[in-house]
Amino acid sequence: MSNLMHGKTALILGVANKWSLAYAIGQAFAREGANLVITYQGERQKLTVEELAAELSPTARAIQCDVTKPDELASLVEALQPGPLDAVVHSIAFANREDLSRPFSETSRDGFVLALEVSAYSLVAVAKAMAPLMTGGGSVITLSYLGAVRVIPNYNVMGVAKAALEANVRYMAATLGPEGTRVNGISAGPIKTLAAAGIAGFSTMLKNFANAAPLRRNVTADEVGNVAAFLMSDWASAMTGEILYVDNGYSQVAAGMDDGGEKPKE
């Protein structure tokens, strides 16, 4: 432990199970000395997430918060009083499964609105709700994916939502900057989680990624957690409005550039 987040209080939204990127981020934050509050979407995840909170640290709390419900967001703010809150992690996304497999041009209006509300607007709602608690400045991060800026097969409406999310990061950074709050995004390479399982052809995506990425392997959730801890720490004090790629360099090479060289280790 290097105590990068010693004495800081962090809110992490979006833990569903032990594979969630939010949980890996929680592990990194706990290792770095943060006090933790983690959230889950609904009653169905309550027990699992309460157990995970206890594994993170004896003082970590688990609270229910569906980000589409203003009353649950208000209760969360209440539970975090009197603050201060130093760090907020937004690790939430949702799209209807059929919108992640049929042609993009067939996305329904309702499916589009739902994906954008849960996956992009919620960052604005959360940051606005938490801003009064972030009295000592603070840091907000969200999780994005390359589909925001490139067409990725089957990512579809989620790519549009991530594009909006990345623009949100820049606008929120500009809005909250004068209060000393930083807002950044991590664009992670593909990692097997519950949300990822909803994307048709995800296993093929993982294989192709490892073949083409300069580091010739997939990204781990721990590696995302480490970068999240860095962004929350004072070492990143001059960084805001950024999207950091944690993807073994995949986004930097042209598609299909597998050169037949050394293959990833199994």
Applying CB under 6 A, which part among 63-71, 168-176, 209-217, 257-265 lies near ligand NAD?
A: 63-71
Distance between CA 163 and CA 242 in Å, rounded?
13
Number of residues that bind ligand NAD (CB under 6 A): 25
- Token digits of residue 240: 């805001």
Phi and psi for 108 in degrees, rounded to 5? -80, 160
Per-residue mark of binding to ligand NAD, 132-171 (x: CB under 6 A): -----------xxx--------------------------
Tokens 């290097």 belong to: 2
Q: Which is nearer to ligand NAD, 28 or 67 (CB)?
A: 67
CB of 202 to ligand NAD, least distance (A): 8
Q: Which of 23, 40, 155, 245 is catalytic?
A: 155
Give the closest residue to 32 by CA, choosing from 54, 10, 17. Answer: 10
Angle at 90 between CA 102 and CA 218, to 5 degrees: 65
Q: Which is nearer to ligand NAD, 52 or 131 (CB)?
A: 52
Phi and psi for 88 in degrees, rounded to 5? -130, 125
* 21 lies in the site for ligand NAD, by CB under 6 A: yes
Q: Which is nearer to ligand NAD, 193 or 226 (CB)?
A: 193
Q: Which is nearer to ligand NAD, 175 or 220 (CB)?
A: 220
Per-residue mark of binding to ligand NAD, 170-209 (x: CB under 6 A): ------------------x-xx-xxxx-------------
* 93 lies in the site for ligand NAD, by CB under 6 A: yes
Applying CB under 6 A, which part among 18-26, 171-179, 234-242, 249-257 lies near ligand NAD?
A: 18-26
SS3 category, 137: strand
Helix (H) or strand (E) segment spanning residue 194:
helix 194-197
Q: Helix and strand tally (H, E) in the chain?
A: 9, 7
CB of 21 to ligand NAD, least distance (A): 4
Annotation marks residue 245 as catalytic: no
Half-sphere exposure of 178 (CA within 13 A, CB side): 3
Q: Which is nearer to ligand NAD, 173 or 221 (CB)?
A: 221
Give the closest residue to 189 by CA, choosing from 207, 164, 170. Answer: 207
DSSP 76-107: HHHHTTT----EEEE------GGGGTS-GGG-
Q: Which is nearer to ligand NAD, 11 or 261 (CB)?
A: 11
CB of 236 to ligand NAD, least distance (A): 19
Which residues are the active-site residues?
145, 155
Residues within the interface to ligand NAD (CB under 6 A): 14-16, 20-22, 41, 66-68, 91-94, 118, 143-145, 188, 190-191, 193-196
